């Protein structure tokens, strides 16, 4: 039996961000077989009340739901906890300590990356709750990094983009708004823009922004791989001058811009085995699909 520590992923906040994080955890691991990857248990409960609304005093306390998920992961044998939801970090550190799990904080990991790159000012795109709680402001202040945040109208656009990702309805207008906001943060002195909500990385094209975009979910994935498997199991990233190797500088790769395809009917044609299909040059079709 391997002694590699089991990682618990407290997900569902939201589902698309959880899927995105697990994909990055796989991508960042230099594995040659199944057994070379990080062992994880994912608790994906989308019923957790809105963390941002709770922090703003206008929503239900998510603590009981978060505690239930963390306890479930502990009972499953997890020792390390990763939470791909920035706003939830206003609640989870205390709960992780209660459960005896080692929390890999997405906030601290991102702040470490900015400080290591010598960044003096960073733009932060996040939920209103994350900004209100000062999660990034405090972590970056301790490292001597100034925070640049959107103004009121800009924050409304951020909130709209987050909601669009959660509903699977990201539109070009949402992407343009985030690009313009990121450019405005850069104009105000931000040397990096942090997508400090795990939905935002699915809607922002970093290639259209004049400064690098930092992806906390990918940074979290790399830190988890390093902690559990060791640095030798990290996928190497080329470093260019002035650029952190884990920034997202291109278009988002997993944006849920359309509804998933659904199985509409079973094919009436008989199935063909793989060898037979190769021999005959015919491709076997098991199902047909349509967009919902």
* 59/282 Cα distance (integer angstroms): 56
Catalogue the long-range contacts made by 288-292 (C-beta closer than 8 Å, 24 or more residues apart): 288/264, 289/261, 289/262, 289/263, 289/264, 290/261, 290/262, 290/264, 291/258, 291/259, 291/261, 291/262, 292/259, 292/260, 292/261, 292/262
| 47 three-state secondary structure | coil
Q: Which residues, in sequence order, are bridge partners of residue 29?
A: 234
What six digits make up the tokens of 210?
A: 């004049």
Q: Which residues form the catalytic set?
A: 85, 197
Q: Taking the CB of residue 245, how many other CB atoms lie within 10 A of it?
A: 12
* 209/191 Cα distance (integer angstroms): 11
CA 10 to chain centroid: 12
* 51/61 Cα distance (integer angstroms): 8
User: Residue 216: which of 118, 109, 83 has the closest Cα?
Assistant: 109
């Amino acid at each position: 039996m391997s002694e590699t520590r089991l990682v618990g992923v407290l997900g569902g906040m939201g589902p698309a961000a959880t899927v995105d994080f697990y994909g990055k955890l796989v991508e960042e691991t230099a594995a040659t077989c199944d057994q070379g990857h990080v062992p994880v248990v994912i608790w994906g409960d989308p019923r957790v009340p809105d963390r941002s609304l709770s922090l703003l005093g206008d929503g239900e306390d998510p603590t009981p739901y978060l505690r239930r998920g963390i306890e479930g992961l502990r009972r499953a044998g997890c020792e390390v906890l990763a939470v791909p939801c920035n706003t939830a970090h206003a609640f989870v550190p205390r709960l992780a300590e209660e459960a005896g799990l080692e929390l890999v904080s997405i906030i601290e990991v991102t702040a470490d990356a900015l400080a290591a790159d010598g960044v003096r000012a960073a733009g932060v795109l996040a939920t209103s709750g994350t900004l209100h709680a000062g999660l990034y402001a405090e972590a970056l202040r301790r490292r001597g990094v100034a925070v640049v945040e959107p103004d009121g109208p800009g924050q409304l656009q951020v909130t709209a983009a987050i909601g669009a990702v959660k509903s699977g309805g990201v539109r070009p207008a949402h992407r343009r708004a985030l690009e313009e906001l990121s450019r405005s943060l850069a104009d105000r002195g931000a040397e990096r823009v942090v997508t400090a909500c795990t939905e935002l990385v699915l809607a922002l094209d970093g290639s259209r922004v004049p400064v690098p975009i930092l992806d906390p979910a990918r940074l979290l994935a790399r830190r988890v791989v390093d902690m559990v498997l060791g640095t030798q199991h990290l996928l190497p990233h080329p470093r260019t001058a002035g650029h952190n190797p884990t920034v997202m500088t291109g278009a988002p790769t997993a944006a849920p811009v359309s509804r998933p395809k659904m199985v509409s009917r079973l094919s009436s044609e008989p199935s063909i085995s793989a060898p037979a299909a190769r021999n005959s040059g015919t491709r076997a079709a098991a199902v047909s699909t349509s967009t919902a």
